[in-house]
A and B are shown apart, each in its own frame.
Chain A
Amino acid sequence: MITLTINGKKVVVPVGATILEAALQNGIEIPNLCYDKRLSPYGACRLCVVEVEGQKKLLAACSTPVTEGMEVKTETPKLFKARQTVLELLLVHHPLDCPVCDKAGECKLQDLAFKYCSTKSRFKGEKKHELVDTGSPIVERNSNRCILCGKCVRVCGELQGVGAINLLGRGFASKISPAFEETLDCEFCGQCIDACPVGALGSKPYKYSSRAWFLEAHDNICPYCGVGCTVTYDIRDGKIIRAKGIEGKGINEGNLCVKGRFGFDFIYSKTRLKTPLIKEGDGFKSASWEEALNHIAKKLKAIKDANGADAIGAIGSPRCTVEDNFMLRKFMKDVIGSDNIDSSARFGYAKIQRAVEMSFGLESLPVDFNSPLGKEAILIIESDITSTHPVWGLNFLKAQRKGSFLITADTRETKLTRHSSQWLRLKPGTGTALLNGIIKIAFDEGLYDKEKASRISGLSFLSDGVKDYTSKKVSDITGISEDIFINTAKRFLKAGSRLISLTIGTSEDTKGLNTALAAANLLLLIGEGPASLQMPAEYCNTFGMWHQGLRQGRSGRDIISMLYGEDTVKALYIMGENPAVTFPDASTVDKALRGLDFLVVQDIMLTETAKLADVVLPAASWAEKDGTFICAEGIEQKVQKISQTEGEPVPDWQILRNLSRAMGFEVGAKDISALQDEINEIKTAERTAETIFNPVEYIPGEVPDADYPLTMITGNLMQHSGALSVMSRSLSHVLADAFLQISNADAEKYNVRDEGFVKVASRRGSVMVKARISDEVPQGSVFLPVHFPHAKINTLTHLSLNGEAPLSAVKIEAVK
């Protein structure tokens, strides 16, 4: 620790801190324009100058480290003058178009000029007259207002790992721009917008919609992925009109991704449901709540009487709150009397849970937001974490920057592979073989923790189980060269601290239970504990929903038996889920849904599934109700009603309570706090953790052959994760429809043009999509995102009986 005085006050700060950090930590403000806590010091604006005893020159506080006994002054007449001059010079070139600038009222330059500047300007200089870049779907760039602090460049490059923009040229001519002055085409995370101290970078969806001083800020939790970021929403007239991150706030410490920042607008979509709908002929008729609930009550009773409670099933939603899911389960158990409850987590998170139980004997294994930091070696298995969990993904990039050896095993080129220390470009779905191969090397070379491993049951089964996974065989299966495989494996095994991370999502087909088990085997063998296996829950409340018990009960049926089996259920109650689009093997799902005697869908919009329903009930979105999300880190966070949406949508839990009443049951839950009290009373039993090795085999998916020569990989995109994102106008401006990503070599082979239509077919069906040629996928593989309702990519996928969704082989044909 170092002791110094600032403005006569003694302060103690860690070694290596800068004067500015020391001041901020002790509540002393020093004006600054180019400093950002998340970035390395830059020293461009010279506003943070301070006087240091014994130094003739003024020093930039943001880039001067503190020394023992230093005496710093942050407010003196000399400093006032210096800052005033800097600002005066900045204003010479500035357009001063505050009346038409969205930043006015929350602009750092405006605030500082107000504080320091006189009304006279002594200099006359040129102003810039660059064209404003309004071409990009989300970020607008006005170089004329730019003060060249470089924050956006550094946020984009250093923090986001993108580098879409930079300072071009020098002197007066310098400006912020994409490499060749083209229109910005990037991730659209919008992090640069939040970072810009002036109005040079702006959000297009927000443009000219309000003056800053009319906004009312409310914090809420992001409705998208499992990271659980805190988002600050700006409200005007009861409507959210902008989202931003505030430095240091929430798990995310103010960072947001494109979905969190721009994806909130789906709740104002014109297609929001306003009233209940009851099927009539080929269409629907609007109904009152009373009419709709009574109709459902009557139907469900009749089905229960005729076929028993077991003929009725329910599907909950990882995007609904803990309270909503709790109520659905209660409704099924107490009112219907059935244990047939499940959710889409069956295809994703359930496998993670299963692996955690089997390997570690744990009830749950939340991820740790900071786990990547400080690890010597990190191995990521076929997971595009910067797309599925974008803000958490930043910590993997940061770890690599700070010296971790980051190994990414992935078929596709992603932001993570670009920042990896070693990219293993394996064949799709071969992660299990890779892990087994590393385990074998650990055994062969004695690179494992003999003492710890010998205390875990199944050690000899494991060594037997991997004995065929010679480096030669692993290299044949994965396509990674033997040398590189062996070197990388040893590097990982010999590292002082190790971490493996992977996602298993509803829409990903390259990993399954076996992959997670193989990873757990490896970590246990080398003496690492459960915390070194990081497998995040997928959506905002996947974790909460699962641990609230929204899954098949003891005597109940899971989704696979309810929708895919011979003997499907007769009636289904679906809350906030769209199986027709997002579940694997769409034709089977479609058949099952159409074959139902009675289908109720409760959602915010008329989804493809809702179109098949007998009754559709309009529900409130996350910003229109109070409740709880539990994020992938296992942290409970409150969501609040912050939007006054037209039509006053009703929360899911309330609809279910009202329906229970209509069916003649009093289920309590008179208001949200009564419901929360009830939930809090239920305690889950602790288990004693027992670790076990579970040897697994690598099982290939559909092997490409002459008829279906390509392997299809499905997955998430940075801008889209499914049901909600495709309803967002802003996100759809970035990307509106599914596409097929195909390598240059294959494009040539199959005569596919960039942006041209192709027919993609698997053994189960075919779809039409546009092609995007890119060597981000290698020859032999194609990539397709599954969420877009029109494309119905899940027509191509399939499901095996154990609930895994193995890779599918496809063929493509260019459409003339």
Chain B
Amino acid sequence: MLKEIEDIKAKYPDTRAALLPALYIAQKEFGWLSLDAMKAVANALNLPESDVRGTASFYSMFRLKPAGRNLIQLCTNISCMILGAERLRDLLKDRYGLLPGGTTEDGRFSLVIMECIGACGTAPAMLVNTDLYENLTEHNIAEILGKYK
């Protein structure tokens, strides 16, 4: 991880600019941003720890709690909401016991509610890890999630 951060650092004019990509690298490595992970990033970039934590806690794509193996990011903004995103959220709760911000008992899924992910035309939409799924319904969502173990 530190090697990767070093490489990224070289691409930016100053280390602060490399903070977001570095946090991504750390998150990819550990699955979430633990205290130690953030401290390591601060150290690698020679930035105050408070800067790193401040940035990590601002963006919702960073996970500050341990997460499941797969991350579902479900949009519930206007377009998605109108087309049933809230029903999908309830479904995740009923069928998988998955609450926003939570993780399933078997550690298979974590759920994060997202602000608009730019797929309004094909709403409702979600991301599973880095894969985008659009036009979700109560039927196809189960099928999609079945692919992730």
* CB atoms of B35 and A166 under 8 A apart: no
* CB atoms of B49 and A168 under 8 A apart: no
Give the distance to chain B from A273, nearest Cβ to Cβ, in Å.
Answer: 44
* CB atoms of B50 and A166 under 8 A apart: yes
A179 within 8 A of B: yes
The answer for the CA separation of A167 and B53 in the assembled complex, in Å, is 9
Which of A164, A177, A179, A418 is most buried by chain B, counting CB atoms within 10 A of its CB? A179
* CB atoms of A168 and B57 under 8 A apart: yes
Contacts of A169 in B (CB 8 A): 57-58
Known A-B contacts A179-B38, A180-B35; A162 and B57 likewise in contact (beta carbons under 8 Å): no
The answer for the CA separation of A163 and B49 in the assembled complex, in Å, is 8
Contacts of B54 in A (CB 8 A): 153, 166-168, 179
* CB atoms of B46 and A418 under 8 A apart: yes
* CB atoms of B46 and A179 under 8 A apart: no
* CB atoms of B48 and A168 under 8 A apart: no
* CB atoms of B58 and A164 under 8 A apart: no
The answer for the CA separation of A170 and B57 in the assembled complex, in Å, is 7
* CB atoms of A168 and B53 under 8 A apart: yes
Q: Mark A173-204, 1 if CB is under 8 A from B, else 0.
A: 00001111000000000000000000000000
Q: Mark B31-52, 1 if CB is under 8 A from A, else 0.
A: 0000100100010001111111
Q: How many residues of A contact B (CB 8 A)?
A: 16
Q: How many residues of B contact A (CB 8 A)?
A: 14
A165 within 8 A of B: yes
Give the distance to chain A from B85, nearest Cβ to Cβ, in Å.
Answer: 20
Give the distance to chain A from B41, nearest Cβ to Cβ, in Å.
Answer: 11
The answer for the CA separation of A163 and B50 in the assembled complex, in Å, is 6
* CB atoms of A170 and B38 under 8 A apart: no
The answer for the CA separation of A413 and B38 in the assembled complex, in Å, is 21
Q: Which of B38, B47, B50 contacts A178 (CB 8 A)?
A: B50
The answer for the CA separation of A605 and B54 in the assembled complex, in Å, is 46
* CB atoms of A157 and B49 under 8 A apart: no
Give the distance to chain B from A184, nearest Cβ to Cβ, in Å.
Answer: 10
* CB atoms of A164 and B48 under 8 A apart: yes
Contacts of B46 in A (CB 8 A): 418
The answer for the CA separation of A180 and B53 in the assembled complex, in Å, is 7
The answer for the CA separation of A179 and B52 in the assembled complex, in Å, is 8
Known A-B contacts A179-B38, A179-B52; A163 and B47 likewise in contact (beta carbons under 8 Å): yes
The answer for the CA separation of A587 and B46 in the assembled complex, in Å, is 43
The answer for the CA separation of A167 and B52 in the assembled complex, in Å, is 10
Interface of B is mostly: helix
* CB atoms of B48 and A180 under 8 A apart: no
Q: Mark B104-126, 1 if CB is under 8 A from A, else 0.
A: 00000000000000000000000
Give the distance to chain A from B146, nearest Cβ to Cβ, in Å.
Answer: 34
The answer for the CA separation of A162 and B58 in the assembled complex, in Å, is 21
Contacts of B57 in A (CB 8 A): 168-170
Which of A153, A163, A165, A177 is most buried by chain B, counting CB atoms within 10 A of its CB? A163
* CB atoms of A179 and B50 under 8 A apart: yes
Contacts of A180 in B (CB 8 A): 35, 49, 53
Contacts of A177 in B (CB 8 A): 50
Give the distance to chain A from B3, nearest Cβ to Cβ, in Å.
Answer: 21
Give residues 124-176 of A contacting B (CB, 8 Å). Answer: 153, 157, 162-170
Give the distance to chain A from B23, nearest Cβ to Cβ, in Å.
Answer: 14
Give residues 42-78 of B contacting A (CB, 8 Å). Answer: 42, 46-54, 57-58
Contacts of A163 in B (CB 8 A): 47-51
* CB atoms of B53 and A162 under 8 A apart: no
Contacts of B51 in A (CB 8 A): 157, 163, 166
Give the distance to chain B from A410, nearest Cβ to Cβ, in Å.
Answer: 16
The answer for the CA separation of A164 and B53 in the assembled complex, in Å, is 11
Q: Which of B38, B47, B50, B52 contacts A164 (CB 8 A)?
A: B50
Give residues 448-498 of A contacting B (CB, 8 Å). Answer: none
Contacts of B38 in A (CB 8 A): 179
* CB atoms of A179 and B58 under 8 A apart: no
Instruction: Name A177's closest neighbour in chain B (CB-CB).
Output: B50
Instruction: Name A171's closest neighbour in chain B (CB-CB).
Output: B58
The answer for the CA separation of A162 and B51 in the assembled complex, in Å, is 11
Contacts of B35 in A (CB 8 A): 180
The answer for the CA separation of A168 and B53 in the assembled complex, in Å, is 7
Give the distance to chain A from B102, nearest Cβ to Cβ, in Å.
Answer: 18
Contacts of B58 in A (CB 8 A): 167-170
Instruction: Name A157's closest neighbour in chain B (CB-CB).
Output: B48
The answer for the CA separation of A169 and B49 in the assembled complex, in Å, is 14
Contacts of B47 in A (CB 8 A): 163
Give the distance to chain B from A496, nearest Cβ to Cβ, in Å.
Answer: 22
The answer for the CA separation of A167 and B58 in the assembled complex, in Å, is 9
Instruction: Name A169's closest neighbour in chain B (CB-CB).
Output: B57
The answer for the CA separation of A168 and B35 in the assembled complex, in Å, is 14
Instruction: Name B38's closest neighbour in chain A (CB-CB).
Output: A179
Give the distance to chain B from A173, nearest Cβ to Cβ, in Å.
Answer: 9
* CB atoms of A162 and B48 under 8 A apart: yes
The answer for the CA separation of A170 and B47 in the assembled complex, in Å, is 20
Instruction: Name A178's closest neighbour in chain B (CB-CB).
Output: B50
Give the distance to chain A from B64, nearest Cβ to Cβ, in Å.
Answer: 10
Instruction: Name A181's closest neighbour in chain B (CB-CB).
Output: B53
Q: Which of A167, A170, A179 contacts B48 (CB 8 A)?
A: A179
Give the distance to chain A from B73, nearest Cβ to Cβ, in Å.
Answer: 16
The answer for the CA separation of A418 and B42 in the assembled complex, in Å, is 13
The answer for the CA separation of A716 and B141 in the assembled complex, in Å, is 65
Contacts of A418 in B (CB 8 A): 46
The answer for the CA separation of A169 and B55 in the assembled complex, in Å, is 8
Contacts of A153 in B (CB 8 A): 50, 54
Give the distance to chain B from A182, nearest Cβ to Cβ, in Å.
Answer: 10
Contacts of A179 in B (CB 8 A): 38, 42, 48-50, 52-54
Q: Please list 24 pairs of residues, one from A and one from B, whose beta carbons are closer than 8 Å in the complex, sorted by A's number.
A: A153-B50, A153-B54, A157-B51, A162-B48, A163-B48, A163-B49, A165-B50, A166-B48, A166-B50, A166-B51, A167-B54, A167-B58, A168-B57, A177-B50, A178-B50, A179-B38, A179-B49, A179-B52, A179-B53, A179-B54, A180-B35, A180-B49, A180-B53, A418-B46
A166-B51, A179-B48 given; name 8 further pairs at CB < 8 Å: A157-B51, A163-B49, A165-B50, A168-B57, A179-B52, A179-B54, A180-B35, A418-B46
Chain B residues close to A by CB (< 8 Å): 35, 38, 42, 46-54, 57-58
The list of the 6 closest CB pairs from A to B, nearest first, reads A163-B48, A166-B54, A166-B50, A179-B49, A179-B50, A179-B53
